[in-house]
């Protein structure tokens, strides 16, 4: 989202009340009847479902500047996911009807939103391909690359730090913690990543992407 559109969106939501959530606190629950849209002013939020086995499966992650759940506002589709604060977050809450009116009055914002939806759809299709035809290794590498592109922190020598633990990666890839740990060790041995206390360092996106392509 370019700076002008970011400022337009922020200016709109600034007119509405803010609320804070602590790390681990639920922002939204499944089937919760909402007439509002949440704008994430600061922090990160994940949307997840719970599997039959009782495991959390992360389906999306949001950073500052995102607003959701739009499907409920536009299509009256019930929310089916838990939305949880990854860290301390600040949100602003606006009536859905006001947000819809804002989008209709600002086609540049709507076009940018549509562009993001298509990028997200492409990512979803790639994730589906790895879930259906890939190995545990390819599923984990895809999540690493996806998280790096969205939340990565640039480091020295073109490396990227991803603030996700093995437990976080297990929830995002649908793999067990043990499988993630074993696969991370394999990638570390290959010189592709390094596990740190608070996350993972990717040394080369190109090398990791090449490994992903050969493993599908």
CATH of the domain at 33: 2.60.120.10
Instruction: Compute the mean pLDDT over every residue in the chain, rounded to the nearest whole number.
Output: 89
Residues 17 and 100 placed together within one structural domain of the fold: yes
Residues 26 and 104 placed together within one structural domain of the fold: yes
Q: How confident is the model over 167-179, as pLDDT tens digits?
A: 999 988 888 899 9
CATH number of the domain that residue 153 is part of: 1.10.10.10
User: For residue 46, is it within any domain?
Assistant: yes
Q: Across the chain, which distance is largest between two alpha carbons, in Å?
A: 53
Report the domain count for the chain: 2
Residues 140 and 116 placed together within one structural domain of the fold: no
Q: How confident is the model over 83-140, as pLDDT tens digits?
A: 999 999 999 999 999 999 999 999 999 999 889 888 878 877 777 776 666 788 888 9
User: For residue 128, is it within any domain?
Assistant: no
What's the token pair of residue 116? 């993001």
Q: Is the dihedral of CA 164, 168, 174, 180 positive or negative?
A: positive
Q: Any idea of the CA torsion for 122, 123, 129, 135, to the nearest 10 degrees?
A: 160
pTM over 0.95? The answer is no
CA distance 29 to 40: 16
- Structural domain span for residue 78: 3-120
């Amino acid at each position: 989202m370019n700076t002008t559109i970011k400022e337009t969106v922020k200016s709109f939501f600034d007119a509405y009340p803010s609320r804070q959530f602590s790390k681990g606190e639920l922002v939204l629950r499944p089937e919760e009847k909402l007439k509002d849209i949440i704008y994430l002013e600061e922090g990160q939020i994940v949307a997840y479902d719970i599997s039959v086995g009782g495991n959390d499966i992360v389906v999306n992650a949001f950073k500052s500047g995102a607003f959701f759940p739009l499907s409920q506002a536009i299509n009256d589709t019930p929310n089916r996911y838990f939305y949880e604060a990854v860290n301390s977050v600040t949100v602003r809450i606006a009536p859905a009807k006001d947000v819809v009116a804002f989008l209709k009055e600002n086609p540049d914002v709507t076009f940018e939103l549509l562009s993001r939806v298509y990028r997200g759809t492409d990512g979803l299709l790639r994730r589906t391909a790895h879930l259906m035809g890939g190995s545990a290794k390819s599923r984990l590498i895809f999540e690493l690359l996806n998280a790096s592109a969205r939340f990565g922190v640039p480091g020295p020598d073109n490396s990227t730090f991803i603030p996700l633990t093995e437990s976080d990666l297990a929830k995002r890839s649908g793999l067990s913690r043990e499988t993630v740990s074993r696969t991370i060790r394999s990638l570390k041995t290959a010189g592709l990543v390094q596990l740190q206390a608070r996350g993972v360092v990717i040394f080369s996106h190109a090398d990791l992407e090449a490994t992903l392509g050969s493993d599908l």
